[in-house]
């Protein structure tokens, strides 16, 4: 029997910050699993991002040059802690 692994997360931001703005979803994840597995968990369960958009190009806004595609940021804060942020463009 292997070692038990855990993952927990907090939602720090969810949705539009103001009318006519992009939707931002920000999570803080704490876990003892491998970083690649954490990313896959985020992409699959926390907030889906299509594989073509997994470019880690989020800069705080979905505006030019990103167009109408969602983008994400995934970063390691410290040992076993990560931030996952998804930006979905305002659509009207």
C-alpha 16/C-alpha 14 separation (Å) is: 7
Q: How confident is the model at residue 60 (pLDDT cuts 50, 70, 90)?
A: low
Query: For residue 55, is it within any domain?
Result: yes
Query: For residue 18, is it within any domain?
Result: yes
Query: For residue 15, is it within any domain?
Result: yes
Q: How confident is the model at residue 65 (pLDDT cuts 50, 70, 90)?
A: low
Burial of 80 (0-12, 13-18, 19+ CB in 10 A): middle
Query: For residue 24, is it within any domain?
Result: yes
Does residue 62 have a pLDDT over 90? no
Span 23-57, pLDDT tens digits: 889 999 999 999 999 988 998 899 877 654 555 55
Q: How confident is the model at residue 71 (pLDDT cuts 50, 70, 90)?
A: confident
**Range of the structural domain that residue 19 is part of:** 7-88
C-alpha 25/C-alpha 62 separation (Å) is: 12
**How many domains does one find in the chain?**
1
- Which percentage of the chain shows pLDDT scores above 70? 74
Query: For residue 1, is it within any domain?
Result: no
């Amino acid at each position: 029997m292997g070692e038990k692994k855990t993952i927990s997360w907090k939602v720090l931001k969810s949705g539009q910050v103001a009318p006519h703005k992009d939707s931002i979803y920000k999570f803080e994840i704490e876990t003892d699993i491998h970083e690649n597995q954490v990313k896959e968990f985020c992409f699959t369960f926390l907030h889906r991002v299509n594989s073509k958009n997994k470019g880690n190009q989020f800069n705080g806004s979905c505006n030019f040059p990103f167009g109408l595609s969602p983008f994400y940021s995934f970063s390691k804060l410290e040992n076993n802690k990560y931030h996952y942020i998804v930006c979905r463009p305002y659509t009207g």
